[in-house]
Amino acid sequence: MTGRWMMAIAGMVLAAFLVAPDRFAPLFQPLTRNGAPAIYQQTSILSLTLSHLGIVTVAVLASTVAGLVLAILVTRRSGREFLPLARTVTAVGQTLPPVAVLALAVPVMGFGTGPTLVALFLYGMLPVFENALAGLTGQSPQVAEAARGMGLTPVQRLWQIDLPLALPLLLAGMRLTAVISLGTATIGSTVAARTLGEVIIAGLLSANTAFVVQGGLVVGILAVLIHHGFQALERRARLRTGLD
């Protein structure tokens, strides 16, 4: 209960800051020097936050779809031989630094949101794939026997049994991907994507610690809220499937 209250308070404080950041200027003023502004005003922090969340949402959904489809394919009898290849493909995003992906994508896609989406998509696919794979392959033999006894086809078993039972682990993978992507998306501002990295970079360039702290705090609070939100969904999914 205490954790819920803390999350609620954090959410309300974040919302208040995004709607009226100037009211928080006295808190950030000690972090400035030589009369520099305490609140980033070149672009609306609220609009940057919404843009940041939009980019992360698209990337997480794309990573989830790709990772889940791959996990389903390699757990079917006809696709099991492709499991090593699928693991290699999904691991590529984790081995290539997002900055390197941006550098490779910009000459092809130009500056803006596109390269950032590619970097986040590749970087976020591995957690979803591995968790979906664990959820689809970690079911007890009794489940398979029950499905055969009910006369379910492979497709029916996938939709009615396998995916619902794998949902808690899939949500855990999405949680990891979302939190990773939320922090990583800040580098998108280096290629002109509208993210909260713009506030952090502006602070670094102008030696204004207040801007750096603002951008970092917004991203950090969002990450904590999203993390706890997914955990709540995981608990609900586990209760519905009888895993708890």
**Inside any domain, residue 26:** no
**Inside any domain, residue 128:** yes
Query: What is the count of structural domains for the chain?
Result: 1
Domain boundaries, position 159? 43-136+146-240
The pLDDT value recorded for residue 244 is 60
The pLDDT value recorded for residue 21 is 93
**Inside any domain, residue 227:** yes
**Inside any domain, residue 8:** no
Tens digits of pLDDT across the chain (244 residues): 567 888 889 899 999 999 999 999 999 999 998 888 999 999 999 999 999 999 999 999 999 999 999 999 998 888 888 888 888 888 887 888 888 888 888 888 889 899 999 999 999 999 999 999 998 888 777 776 776 777 777 788 888 888 888 999 999 999 999 999 999 999 999 898 999 999 999 999 999 999 999 999 999 999 999 999 999 999 998 888 766 6
**Inside any domain, residue 56:** yes
Residue showing tokens 């092809």: 108
What region, left, alpha or beta, does residue 194 occupy, with left being phi > 0 and alpha being psi -120 to 50 degrees?
A: beta
pTM of the model: 0.91
**Inside any domain, residue 38:** no
* Residue 102's CATH number: 1.10.3720.10
CB 98 within 8 Å of CB 123: yes
**Inside any domain, residue 159:** yes
Could you give the CA distance from residue 126 to residue 88 in angstroms, rounded to a whole number? 10
**Inside any domain, residue 111:** yes
Could you give the CA distance from residue 181 to residue 158 in angstroms, rounded to a whole number? 29
